[in-house]
Amino acid sequence: MVKTILDAFCVKSGILCRRCEEKLEKGQVTELDLKVIQKIVELEKQNPVLEDVTYHRAIEADDMMAVLVDKKDMPKLLGGGAKVVRELAETFGKRVKLISYGGDDRDFLEDLFSPLSILTINTVWIPDGSTETKVILTGRQPRKMPVDLDKVRKIAQELKGMTLRVEFEWF
């Protein structure tokens, strides 16, 4: 079964024990996490390779959902024409973006901005002592963006506490 901080019985039954209920109350997991985990467990029946997937978290930003899994598990979820990702998207009615957990900030941002290419990432120091992460994307800004920058900013803020400043550079 998919690896998570919740007990296998609680995930399969949908009824949480006291320990898992506390994790929900403390915010270690959310209702969305529980639903995503249950869907992945359901999909394990057709895709046994999903049994070894380590799930960490899911975040919603309007009509987009970011799902964090271990970096080594990304090919398992993207294999077979990304069938698992499409199933999750259909179930939740949102565009699903897989993000590798535990990598550095560049890996995280590359997953988040995919299919756009990142030219460079810089840290901008603000006079009030805070920082912003400046992401410079290659090329001109397309008329029809494949990625909604506002949603990407929201997910980056929620997952990593990053405030993003996004620019395009044509050279």
Please write the tens of the pLDDT for every residue from 116-160.
999 999 999 999 999 999 999 998 888 888 888 999 999 999 988
What CATH number has the domain bearing residue 129?
3.30.300.20
Do 122 and 60 belong to one domain? no
CA distance 164 to 132: 6
Residues 94 and 166 grouped into a single domain:
no
- Looking at the structure, tell me whether residues 9 and 55 fall in a common domain: yes
DSSP, collapsed to helix, strand or coil, labels residue 164 as strand
Position 42, amino acid: E
The arithmetic mean of pLDDT across residues 87-100, rounded, is 90
- Do 3 and 87 belong to one domain? yes
Could you tell me which residues are beta bridge partners of residue 167? 136
Are 166 and 144 members of one domain?
Answer: yes
- For 4, the domain range is 1-100
Tell me the whole-structure pTM to 2 decimals: 0.83
Q: How far is CA 47 from CA 52, 76, 96, in A?
A: 11, 9, 18
Per-residue model confidence (pLDDT) at position 90 = 93
pLDDT at position 63 over 80: yes
pLDDT in tens, 47-60: 888 888 899 999 99
Mean pLDDT of 34-58: 88
Residues 6-24: pLDDT tens digits? 888 888 888 889 999 999 8
Burial group, residue 162, by CB count within 10 angstroms (0-12, 13-18, 19+): buried
Q: What is the DSSP string of 109-138?
A: HHHHHTTSPEEEEEEEE-TTS-EEEEEEEE
Query: Could you report the per-residue pLDDT of 68-81, keeping only the tens digit for each?
Result: 998 888 888 887 76
Q: Which helix (H) or strand (E) holds 101?
A: strand 95-101
Residue 92: predicted pLDDT? 92
Q: What is the tally of structural domains in the chain?
A: 2
Among 82, 100, 118, give the residue marking a domain's end. 100
Model pLDDT, residue 147 = 87
Whether 69 and 91 map to the same domain: the answer is yes
Based on the domain organization, do 13 and 90 belong to the same domain? yes
User: Residue 103 pLDDT more than 80?
Assistant: no
| 112 and 50 both lie in a single domain | no
